[in-house]
Structure 1
Amino acid sequence: MATKAKASGGGNKLGLWLGLALIVILLDQFTKVLILGNFQLGDSRSVTGFFNVVRVHNTGAAFSFLAGAAGWQRWFFVGLGAVATVFITVMLRRHGQQTLFALALSLILGGAIGNVIDRLLHGYVIDFIQVHSSGWYFPSFNIADSAISVGAVLLIWDEIRRVRRG
């Protein structure tokens, strides 16, 4: 059994990385349940001078890309999330011993699944974090989006480190 885990390139850590993705999913879904229970669509509450909690429904992707499409985008993004889930799980199995790389993939996986759950349950993604300054508003986002963004930055950082070593 140890030989098989070693041959799979870090499969022995797969549970750790999937567990981290599960934590992201649970945190994401928990916060969205809180928003659904306490905010009506369009509600906004100021928290600080640069941060609001809002309730926004995003039928598109990042920054509402394709939000105005005829509805096909819901199933497109669900399918894309399913393909990404399989691909990332395979990558985690093969490269689970590469800590920074696997951490990045786990965050992206958890975020992707969190948003797919929204699309399946509601037909849209629930966004609720709004950052703003001097009349400029960054598009609203959620915990899943944050995990995906941090994961993407970590992937870039990991690649830069790999190139510098090589």
Structure 2
Amino acid sequence: MAERLHPGGYLLRALLVLVLDQLSKRWVLAVFEPYEVLPLLPACNLTLVFNEGAAFSFLSDAGGWQRWFFIGLTSLISLGLFVWLMRLRQHERLTAISLAMILGGALGNLIDRVRLGKVVDFLDFYWQQWHWPAFNLADSAITVGVALMLLASWKHADS
């Protein structure tokens, strides 16, 4: 039986994602008014927006109940990710990295929902008049974590 992975370093990675996410959101909240636009790069603005729903503003206009639904759901998922991370074996390092990124991002958005009732988004990528839905560092970490999880699954299927 393979030796268990030591999760401490991966939990620190999750904490790093969480801290960077929260620091970036606090900075944006201190500097920007809602919908204020600061061009950053061609095709990228910083723009403070709030999302009361899930990804792509799903359920954002549902009347308020979604806050508690997403707090509960995110809490359960985060607990599941933590337990999963604690049970990994030494050879599952890529899975551990992906879980750490997803966990850190999920907790970052959870803190927003508990504190503010909504998630702070501020990264606005666009092409001409078409804008991708605004997002934040937590969302980015979750996306990269899921991509790494798919890669880990693919690598595992090949072995």
TM-score by length of structure 1 reads 0.91
Identity among equivalent pairs (%): 41
Aligned match of 2:16 in 12, 23, 30? 23
**Could you list the runs of 4 or more consecutive aligned residues of structure 1 that deviate by over 3 angstroms after TM superposition?**
none
Change (3 A) 1:116 1:96: farther
2:41 alignment partner, SS class: coil
CA separation in 1, counterparts of 2:78 and 2:57?
A: 22
- Asked whether 1:157 is paired with 2:151, we answer yes
CA separation in 2, counterparts of 1:126 and 1:147?
A: 15
Structure 1 or 2: larger helix share?
1
* Correspondence list, 1:7-156, <5 A: 9-10=4-5, 13-95=6-88, 97=90, 98-156=92-150
CA separation in 1, counterparts of 2:71 and 2:7?
A: 23
CA separation in 2, counterparts of 1:119 and 1:133?
A: 30
The alpha carbon displacement at 1:70 in A equals 1.0
Alignment size in residue pairs: 156
Unaligned 5+ runs, structure 1: 1-5
The alpha carbon displacement at 1:67 in A equals 0.3
CA separation in 2, counterparts of 1:139 and 1:128?
A: 10
Deviates more, 1:89-98 or 1:72-81: 89-98
The answer to whether the Cα contact below 8 Å between 1:17 and 1:96 also exists between their aligned partners in 2 is no
Q: Over the residues paired in the alignment, what is the CA RMSD in angstroms?
A: 0.9
